[in-house]
Amino acid sequence: MTGGFDPERLVRQFQALGQSSRLAVVRLLARYRPFGLGAGEIARLVAVPHNTLSTHLAELERAGLIRSRRDGRSIVYALDPETAEAIPAQLAEILRPPGRAPGATTVFLPIRRTPIVTDRTYNVLVLCTGNSARSILAEALINREGKGKFRAFSAGSHPKGTPNPVGLKLLAELGYDISGFRSKSWDEFAGPEAPKMDFIVTVCDSAAGEACPYWPGHPLTAHWGIPDPADVGETEEERRAAFLDAYRRLAARVTAFVNLPVETMDLGALKAALAEIGRLEGATELALAGKVA
């Protein structure tokens, strides 16, 4: 996008972005500039089947939004650097006078995912009132994306007894082993025999406002509240779409979290980063306010 304002090209690019999966791909690659990600990584993180993803990637490449390159046997996709720099300027021209929303913040994530090599495992307890939907999704994501550096558990203040079947079905479709998931009380993790937690993360506003048990070791707390997918939809398609939306929102937060250099961050910086992650797209008002559990 050189040579000034180009409305026709901008229209083509916005047409390519006018589909939720393609928009999710571009937003994901924006967090991994400039190196990009392989198609398999993209498919997993945005929860899109490989054959469908190929069509979306081709459309984005034709629109000039992304570029592909071969890396060994893999094809790596990255945000087109010229486009990434030019689109904000083009929008500023359209929406003159440009300006940033008051209080807007940006979460800076690592530009390249590197293999996790560590002798330390960080335990994360994800809390939600019913421990049937959001906390189960987050537990699954942290255990997969943490690759051994982070180990997740989930629980609820008033567990429903069984995980939501729509969420379990979605996880199974995405390749997770769902046999070990269960809905359980947070009291299981408050006793002396329970694993010592390094992080406590609430994903629903009601759990964030409740009086929690005493957690041994004084773990860091954060609130990543997102809307409850179990309250959305009357048809099977609508309910699945709500859970997929929750999965994608949690995937963005988990991806940011597991890539933090927690070993080298001081307490203040780590607390601030956890709060910033909680303000990512789709956050509840309580999470946007930076409240913690």
In tens, the pLDDT along 8-40 reads 777 888 888 888 889 999 988 988 888 888 888
Q: At what angle do helices 267-278 and 236-258 cross, to 10 degrees?
A: 160
Local confidence band at 111 (pLDDT 50, 70, 90 cut-offs): very low
Token pair listed for 81: 């650097």
The segment(s) of the chain belonging to CATH 3.40.50.2300 are: 122-288
The pLDDT of 161-190, averaged and rounded, is: 94
The pLDDT of 162-173, averaged and rounded, is: 95
Local confidence band at 94 (pLDDT 50, 70, 90 cut-offs): low
Local confidence band at 209 (pLDDT 50, 70, 90 cut-offs): low
Provide the pLDDT for residue 47: 86
Asked if 164 and 181 count as a contact pair (C-beta separation under 8 A), the reply is no
**Cα–Cα nearest to 188, from 150, 161, 157:** 157
Provide the pLDDT for residue 2: 46
Q: What is the DSSP string of 212-242?
A: PPP-TT--EEEE-----GGGS-SSHHHHHHH
Kindly report the backbone phi and psi dihedral angles of residue 15, in degrees, each rounded to the nearest multiple of 5, phi listed first. Answer: -65, -40
Q: Hey, which bits of the chain come out as E strands? A: 37-38, 66-71, 74-79, 122-127, 150-155, 199-202, 220-223
Average pLDDT, the chain: 84
The pLDDT of 250-279, averaged and rounded, is: 92
The pLDDT of 143-162, averaged and rounded, is: 94
Query: Is pLDDT of 98 > 60?
Result: no
Window from 30-44, 166-180, 248-262 with minimum mean pLDDT: 30-44
Window from 34-38, 224-228, 251-255 with minimum mean pLDDT: 34-38
Q: How far apart are CA 57 and CA 79, in angstroms?
A: 11
Write out the CATH class of domain 7-94: mainly alpha
Provide the pLDDT for residue 214: 66
Q: Which whole-number Å values give the CA distances from 133 to 52, 155, 200, 289, in the listed order?
A: 26, 11, 17, 23
The segment(s) of the chain belonging to CATH 1.10.10.10 are: 7-94
DSSP 3-state assignment of 97?
coil
Query: Is pLDDT of 253 > 90?
Result: yes
Domain 122-288 annotated CATH 3.40.50.970: no
Provide the pLDDT for residue 185: 94
Provide the pLDDT for residue 262: 92
Q: Does residue 31 or residue 77 have the better pLDDT?
A: 77
Q: How far apart are CA 30 and CA 78, in angstroms?
A: 8
Residues assigned a catalytic role: 128, 204, 212
